[in-house]
Structure 1
């Protein structure tokens, strides 16, 4: 017993600094305020007028991590700046009168026709029911694509962005930035440097900025960020169209979808792909982020493998599902009606 007491146990006294600290997540207001401060400190974003609802779309999809949400907004802004021709009139975030999540077309019949053609070709379509995991299912049918009727960027990409925005709004989000370009009849003419003429006023009619002591109730975290899964059916896709895709700005298409849209992508599934699509995918892999590469599943003609991941009951007949064949016109009409309501 004496020997036991004389043993040097080297017991260290524990101090508060030795206890691991668990990071406490920010509240809605704190995260929103932190994101506003990051934007205000960024020279390229500080003059933008973001609404609370717009910022919350990015915060939710990044688990209310203000820095991660800021990086996504920065990527989105940079992509728009590098590709102004894509957003000539239909930026999801700052289109005039974008009361329906920013999905709005204004007197650009040619581009409206491209988008309508892409939707009618099934690029993309969205199934009416979610999959067993609660994901919205986007369908792409490249075999029906006519590059002359719907260019890859000005048609297919914008149709895809508009479809994703419709999903975001259905889930309670809103990508409108409340920035209206045009004449503002309520503008203070004393602010003008052109002698008080407000006819050419570009001041926003409504700008919503975060106020730390605002009593307005913000949308809660319980609004689930939208989750999507994409299924690409390559049936009927020819080698000549594959060459058109590779030369039509596919890198811009990929960059936009994987860095600029506030949704959770749960997976991208290829079915019935020919060998040259496999070859093109290998060429494109260096331009994909590691997370995007991990989400791509190539099934070939093995639809049972697809069903084991995304389910079967909600899929249309052409994908081996229990539902009737998918009609692209239904989704096209829905998206274009949203646009008409926004005008």
Structure 2
């Protein structure tokens, strides 16, 4: 085992070998071959090229070196093309701070049965007079930057659950094709994370319409990992254990506390009154710009959502979701 795999469990190292083609004997050669490609893109400022950083891109692309380099280039190009988004890209930036304290995103403490981290978005809590969509996207990207430092998550990946309960048509009208495309480019095309699934629950008809609108921007693999459950939480439980989920999603855990992840990022100075100064992450490899972000205004009172739903005593079809269904939910633990 190379020092780059230090801290990984034997099971995770074996998983990386089987599913990601990770070979500790040639890990440094793989990394160097990606690094050697940087000279082919003089138009991009590669602001970080250390071994550990490049390794996460190789893992995200199953050690296909050219694809890993393409993702690395897109990562920095996305930041160069959207400088405003990455100005003051840290937790105590006012816009990011507001989004975090409003629960964008939520991050569950425990991982799912495949070792993946579960991120939550309660869409109706988007107060458009308080948070721009861009700031919510920035908070999500910053959160992923923090989480992806964990090598276990580089290998196991992430799950995203979006609850669309009470998300109004007026709120949906702010989700323009341009900002949705920006989000897709930032998450699908430019970030070294393995997303094992994106789960929509309680989505209204106009979210189906939005999904149809963005489909052309999605890769085939991404489309296969998007699940539209509606109000059928049994189908969600076929893919994610109820024991991993809060009660809002019919799980056995307590309701999600919206301040959980904000307290993690903002540290001991966090308070419910938003009086905090601590910053636990500083993206030194992001270029700053002088211009500021535009804010979107559309008042909406923030809600705390609890779905009035309980799983039937016998689970789906009179029985608990079978292990086969759960393993299928991992896609062999989130295979790309």
Partner in structure 1 of residue 261 of structure 2? 331
Partner in structure 1 of residue 56 of structure 2? 57
Distance 1:316 1:46, change over 3 A: closer
The 2-side partners of 1:280 and 1:246 are apart by 9
Shift of 1:247: 6.0
The 2-side partners of 1:265 and 1:300 are apart by 20
Partner in structure 1 of residue 80 of structure 2? 81
2:45–2:76 contact (8 Å) kept in structure 1: no
TM-score of the two chains, using structure 1 as the length reference:
0.68
Distance 1:48 1:40, change over 3 A: farther
Distance 1:50 1:71, change over 3 A: same
Partner in structure 2 of residue 250 of structure 1? 180
CA RMSD of aligned residues (A): 2.3
Partner in structure 2 of residue 167 of structure 1? 147
2:31–2:55 contact (8 Å) kept in structure 1: yes
Shift of 1:136: 0.6
Shift of 1:48: 4.0
Partner in structure 1 of residue 40 of structure 2? 41
1:59–1:69 contact (8 Å) kept in structure 2: yes
Q: SS at 2:155's partner residue? A: coil
TM-score of the two chains, using structure 2 as the length reference:
0.70
2:265–2:280 contact (8 Å) kept in structure 1: no
Q: How does 1:154-193 map to 2 (within 5 A)?
A: 155-171=135-151
Query: Of the candidates 182, 206, 210, which is equivalent to residue 276 of structure 1?
Result: 206
Shift of 1:116: 2.2
Partner in structure 2 of residue 138 of structure 1? 119
1:168–1:226 contact (8 Å) kept in structure 2: no
Shift of 1:81: 2.1
Shift of 1:46: 6.8
Query: Of the candidates 279, 284, 287, which is equivalent to residue 340 of structure 1?
Result: 279
1:28–1:64 contact (8 Å) kept in structure 2: no
Q: How does 1:170-319 map to 2 (within 5 A)?
A: 170-171=150-151, 225-246=155-176, 249-319=179-249
Superposed CA offset, 1:214-268 (max 9, x none):
xxxxxxxxxx524101100001100000001226612101111001111110010
Tell whether 2:99 aligns with 1:118: yes
The 1-side partners of 2:255 and 2:266 are apart by 21
Q: Which has the larger radius of gyration?
A: 1
Shift of 1:330: 1.2
1:40–1:46 contact (8 Å) kept in structure 2: no
2:22–2:63 contact (8 Å) kept in structure 1: no
2:248–2:255 contact (8 Å) kept in structure 1: yes
Shift of 1:49: 4.5
Shift of 1:65: 2.4
The 2-side partners of 1:80 and 1:73 are apart by 11
The 1-side partners of 2:190 and 2:65 are apart by 15
Q: Give aligned pairs, total.
A: 252
1:135–1:227 contact (8 Å) kept in structure 2: yes
Distance 1:31 1:336, change over 3 A: same
Structure with the bigger percentage of helix = 2
Gaps of 5+ in 2: 1-20, 269-277, 283-336
Superposed CA offset, 1:5-50 (max 9, x none):
xxxxxxxxxxxxxxxxxx9968111101101110123212476442
